[in-house]
Amino acid sequence: MKNEKAAKIIEKALKQGRKTLSEYEAKQVLAAYGIPITKEVLVKDKDQIEKGINKIGFPMVMKGCSAEIAHKTEKGLIHVDVRNATEVKKAFRDIMKGMEGFKGGVLMQEMIKGRRELVIGLTRDPQFGPCVMFGLGGIFTEILRDVCFRRAPLELRDAMDMMQEIKGHKILAAVRGMEAADTDLLAQMLINVGQIGLDFDDVMEIDLNPVILAGAKPVVVDALIVLKG
């Protein structure tokens, strides 16, 4: 059974002829499948800023959010460690100015603290169908290329094997004063990402990077879902 909330989001985007979901929409799909995401609120007007501050608190991260913009960092649409209302208002103005010509708003989200970054993804292989990816994440994902793949659907054993398969698997253990990752939750995230690919033939790609370990708990900080064009 497809998740109804996720189906509505995906169907709306497809009707609009879009090939991607916005970060906010992508995370709503993930949350519908029980995948932990950052606490966040989408603000489209300066009158909503105070409500966003009350919900998220400080410090926070603010990002330009539009289905039309994939690489926010390169466009200067991300402000991190925003610490008071004055900084929020300035960041809101700067981001909205940088987004001129694009539909969307500003995502106000909690700032997740953690030094360990992972990547979880999904690609739709012409031969094997939806395949789940797991590996080391962050800005060096493409350089390190420390990832592994499994065909969906995943069993718990498959997900656990993936975590041990990457070269940097020790990052998940208790290391340098950091607690061991919640591998049960990570495994469920991998299984559920695969399930999204099985439930929706129109989902071509999922890219969750980074997934930050906040203590033991993995949290999706950024998300991209690409649809069939």
User: 131-163: per-residue pLDDT in tens?
Assistant: 999 999 988 788 889 999 999 999 999 999 999
Please give the Cα distance from 163 to 190 (Å, whole number).
10
The average pLDDT across 169-181 equals 94
- 118 φ, ψ to 5°? -120, 170
- 44-102 pLDDT, tens per residue? 999 999 999 999 999 999 999 998 876 665 567 999 999 999 999 999 999 999 988 78
pLDDT at 102: 84
Angular region, 77: left φ>0, alpha ψ -120 to 50, beta rest:
alpha
Strands (E), 71-198: 78-82, 105-110, 117-125, 129-136, 147-151
* pTM listed for this prediction: 0.94
Supply the pLDDT for residue 210: 96
Report whether 220 contacts 36 (CB < 8 A): yes
41 against 2, higher pLDDT: 41
Give the whole-number percent of the chain exceeding pLDDT 70. Answer: 97
